[in-house]
Amino acid sequence: MKYLVMIYGSQVDYDAMNGSGSEGHPAWTEKDLQAMFQHMESINNDLAETGEVVEGNGLSAPKQAIVVTDGPGGASVVSDGPFGETKEVLAGYWVLDCASDERVTEIAKRVHQCPVPAGTPASDVVIRPILEAAPGK
């Protein structure tokens, strides 16, 4: 079965990773970033080795987002970030092909254990099964 494994963050998290900390989100050092990158690279390498990874990427900061919404008369309106009303956004994802819910949960727990600076809240990791169309549909 295929799953979408998503990790969440906020603009404040991206700012902290770029050295601009705030209350509850201390600035990351180069050592902190390297620890995070090594952790994620280890997961990615293991998933590639087991053949479970279909795709995965980190995403840019929310302030670089483009959003299309409804405007007057149903016209599409294009806006750019940052979006103050959004607290958490998708920060990265993996599409995984795993044998069971237990296996994908094991992987998500490993993602959740990513090292962060002391005082930094851990990012939520969400698993969603990907619906697959029945053959011939």
**pLDDT tens-digit series, residues 12-68:** 999 999 999 998 899 999 999 999 999 999 999 999 999 999 999 999 988 888 888
- Residue 137: pLDDT band (50, 70, 90) is low
Give 85's DSSP letter.
Answer: T
Global pTM reads 0.86
Domains of the chain in sequence order: 2-127 (3.30.70.1060)
- Residue 103: pLDDT band (50, 70, 90) is very high
Amino acid in position 128? R
| DSSP per-residue letters across 29-51 | PHHHHHHHHHHHHHHHHHHHHHT
Q: Average per-residue pLDDT in the chain?
A: 91
